[in-house]
Chain A
Amino acid sequence: MAVCVAVIGKDNSPLYIGGIGTDSSTDNELSRQWLVHTALDALEERLVSSNTNAGNAPANAARTDLRDLYLGLLYSTDTHKIYGYVTNTRIKLVLVTSSTSPSGSNIRDAEVRTALRRLHALYADAICNPFHLPGDQITSSKFDKQVKNLMLNNV
């Protein structure tokens, strides 16, 4: 379902970006990065409004569901939907689905949520890898493989 999955560090530096794009527009690393990168603003904004108990009502309303790690749809382009998930440790997980592909077009929110939760689990394991230094890019091929078939299996 997902065409791209990204793990982004506390400082918004990319820790991992994996994609299995089929359509030419997204299967290249670069455009993936553009997609994810531009999603960061929305992510941060939501975090800010979630952490600082904002005075205005909508933020307050939003806060309740913002205690959930899953942030839901960040934004969508005509070709893609970008979902966000921020762990308690400010690790940002981004999942991109292609609205053009049959699988990604009519995907339910719940699926994305579960997918991202699983991704979180994978990440939690990955950083326990003694060869991984927190804050560095994730190079573990095991992680990569797992993420890849996470993206596929959820069709």
Chain B
Amino acid sequence: MADEIVFELLHSEIINYALEQTKNDKDTKDTDLSVVEYIGFAAGYKIMERLTREWPRFKDELDTMKFICTDFWTCIYKKQIDNLRTNHQGVYVLQDNAFRFLTNFSNGHQYLEFAPRYVAYTCGLIRGGLANLCINSVVTAEVQTMPSCKFHIHVQRS
């Protein structure tokens, strides 16, 4: 698992770095993770080309989401999304009961306030991936009790 941990460490270091950066310039009062999210976006955008290579064309949006839950997630987090729910109006909720970036340091409410930092990257990742699949969306994450995490995907119909 050493190779896995490297990724996680890199991720956490990136987040610390980003936080440092934002601390330096005063004008942003709250910690701004847009950088991290962007990194995730770019990565997701590029990786999607690879992951979907062997995949038949998606029938529809839901099909795509399923892909995100299964292959996409497995490839990145070595596990599948545990639960996918949708209202068929373009809102999808992906629930991961043991989100990899959270499992390591907490189960329960400790560090709960810092949880957002560790989901920003993934939100970007999802958004980037979907964007490359021509689905514009807004992805938000919600952590009630670590290490489980819900990702809300709002698809932007244009």
Q: Report A's interface with B, CB cutoff 8 A.
A: 10, 50-51, 66-69, 86-91, 117, 120-121, 123-124, 127-128, 134
Taking CB as reference atom, which chain A residue is nearest B47? A128
Cα–Cα, bound, A119→B50 (Å) = 12
Cα–Cα, bound, A128→B55 (Å) = 19
A147 to chain B, nearest CB (A): 16
Q: Which 6 A-B pairs have the closest CB atoms?
A: A88-B52, A124-B49, A67-B56, A89-B132, A67-B57, A124-B50
Query: What does the 1/0 interface line of B43-54 toward A look like (CB < 8 Å)?
Result: 001101110110
| In the complex, chain B residues whose CB is within 8 Å of the CB of A68 | 56-57
B46-98 CB contacts (< 8 Å) to partner A: 46, 48-50, 52-53, 55-60
B56 near A69 with CB under 8 A, answer: yes
A66 to chain B, nearest CB (A): 7
> Interface on chain B toward A: helix, strand, loop, or mixed SS?
loop
B57 near A50 with CB under 8 A, answer: yes
Taking CB as reference atom, which chain B residue is nearest A68? B56
B49 near A91 with CB under 8 A, answer: yes
B44 to chain A, nearest CB (A): 11
- Contact (A67, B53) CB under 8 Å given A10-B134, A89-B134: no
| In the complex, chain B residues whose CB is within 8 Å of the CB of A88 | 48, 52, 55, 57-58, 133
Q: Which of B46, B50, B58, B133 contacts A134 (CB 8 A)?
A: B46
A121 near B53 with CB under 8 A, answer: yes
The total of interchain contacts (Cβ-Cβ below 8 angstroms) comes to: 45
Cα–Cα, bound, A124→B46 (Å) = 8
A90 near B134 with CB under 8 A, answer: yes
Cα–Cα, bound, A121→B58 (Å) = 19
Cα–Cα, bound, A68→B56 (Å) = 5
Residue contacts A-B, CB under 8 angstroms, 14 given: A51-B60, A66-B57, A68-B57, A87-B52, A88-B57, A88-B58, A89-B132, A90-B133, A91-B49, A121-B53, A124-B49, A124-B53, A127-B46, A128-B50
Taking CB as reference atom, which chain A residue is nearest B43? A128
B132 near A134 with CB under 8 A, answer: yes
| In the complex, chain B residues whose CB is within 8 Å of the CB of A128 | 46, 49-50
Taking CB as reference atom, which chain B residue is nearest A52? B60
| In the complex, chain A residues whose CB is within 8 Å of the CB of B45 | 134
Q: Which of A50, A86, A120 contacts B53 (CB 8 A)?
A: A120
Taking CB as reference atom, which chain B residue is nearest A89? B132
A67 near B59 with CB under 8 A, answer: yes
- Contact (A89, B133) CB under 8 Å given A50-B57, A69-B57, A134-B45: yes
Taking CB as reference atom, which chain B residue is nearest A121? B53
New A-B pairs, 18, CB < 8 Å, besides A89-B49, A89-B132, A128-B49: A50-B57, A67-B56, A67-B59, A68-B56, A68-B57, A69-B57, A87-B53, A88-B52, A88-B57, A89-B52, A89-B134, A91-B49, A121-B53, A124-B49, A124-B50, A127-B49, A128-B50, A134-B45
